[in-house]
Structure 1
C-alpha cells in the first residue's frame, strides 16, 4: 500500500518546537510528511531544518519556489496547518498569501485538498473581532478548524503550555479528513 502525503505546515508558536515528534508520529501512522513553515517558524527552528529534511525525505520549505523550478514535493492528500497563529489565520482567511504556507493552503481550498487547521493563540488575540470572522470564513470554505471545545482552547497571555498543545487531535482529524474526501 502506498502511503498518503501529509503536508504539515506550522507558524511561529511554541508548539512548533515539537514538530520532530509530530513528524515521527505521523510517519509511524503511515504518512509521507512534507514540512512547510512560515519564515519566522523556520528561523525559530533553523538549527533543526537539515535534520527534519532528512527525517521526512523532502526539503523543508518556507519560501515559494522560483518560476520554472520543479515542484519538489508529491501531491498532498491532506494539509494540516498546526500550530497556526493569529497572523496566519487572518492572512489565510483574507487571501493575503505573502508566505509560502499561507499561499498553499489558500490555493488548497480551490483545489479541494482536505485541510485541517488548529490555532495556537492566546486569549487576548482572540478578542480581536477579525479572529472570529476569519475562523468563520475558513469553516465556510470547508476548512476544518479545531478551535474551541474539542480543539485548541486559548490560555491567558504569557501562561501557555506548549507541551499541552493537542497534536493528537490534529493528526486524528487529518486522517479522518482523507477518509471523507
Structure 2
C-alpha cells in the first residue's frame, strides 16, 4: 500500500478530516495524519478515533532525536486545509511546526506534494500570500489555488470545501492506487 501523509491546518474543513481519511483509504492509500498544533487542539477529543482509523499515531510535534519514526516513509503528501499562516511559513522555510518542517524537507527529498489552501478573500489581499503560492509552485509543489483549485470565500462565508479535488490531484501526481 502506498503512503499518503495528510497534513491539516486549523481551518474549519479540518473538522471533516475523518471522512477524507476514509475516502483516501477507499482510494487505496495508507494515510498518516499530521496536524498543526492548533488543529490538534481542535480535534483533541477525536485523536484516539483518528489514530484507530489510520492505524498510525496522529502527529503534531517533532520526535526527539534518536527516536524511531512512527510512520512509514511518505510516497506523497497532501497539505489541506492549508491556512494563510501555513502557506507563508512553508514558503519562507519557517519550520517550527512539525507539518511545515516535513513539507519543507519534502521539496528537497522530491516527495510529490499537493497543497490546497483554505483562506478567505481578505487574507489573500496580503502580498505575501500570492508570493508564497508562486514560490511553492516554483519549488515543484502542486498548489490548488485559483482556477481549478480553491477559490477564497468572503470572511465568515462557509462553502463546502473541495476535498475530492485535492484527492484527485494526489492521484494525478502519483497515479491511481489499485
**TM-score, normalisation: structure 1:** 0.96
Distance 2:158 2:125 in 1: 16
Asked if 1:179 corresponds to 2:175, the answer is yes
**Secondary structure of 2:175's match?**
helix
Partner of 2:102: 104
Q: What is the alpha-carbon distance in structure 1 between the residues aligned to residue 118 and residue 30 of structure 2? A: 24
Does the Cα contact within 8 Å between 1:34 and 1:73 map onto a contact in 2?
Answer: yes
Unaligned runs of 5+ in 1: none
1:93-119 residue CA offsets vs partner (Å, 9 max, x unmatched)? 000001000000000000000000000
Runs of 4+ in 1 over 4 A off after TM superposition: none
Give structure 2 stretches of 5+ with no counterpart.
Answer: none
RMSD: 0.9
Residue in structure 2 matched with residue 63 of structure 1 by the alignment: 61
- Give the superposition deviation at 1:160: 2.3
* Secondary structure of the structure 2 residue equivalent to 1:105: helix
CA deviation after TM superposition for structure 1 residue 129, in Å: 0.2
Q: TM-score, normalised to structure 2's length?
A: 0.97
The number of equivalent residue pairs is 176
Partner of 1:75: 73
| Deviation for aligned residue 1:149 | 1.3
Deviation at 1:133, TM superposition (A): 0.3
Deviation at 1:85, TM superposition (A): 0.1
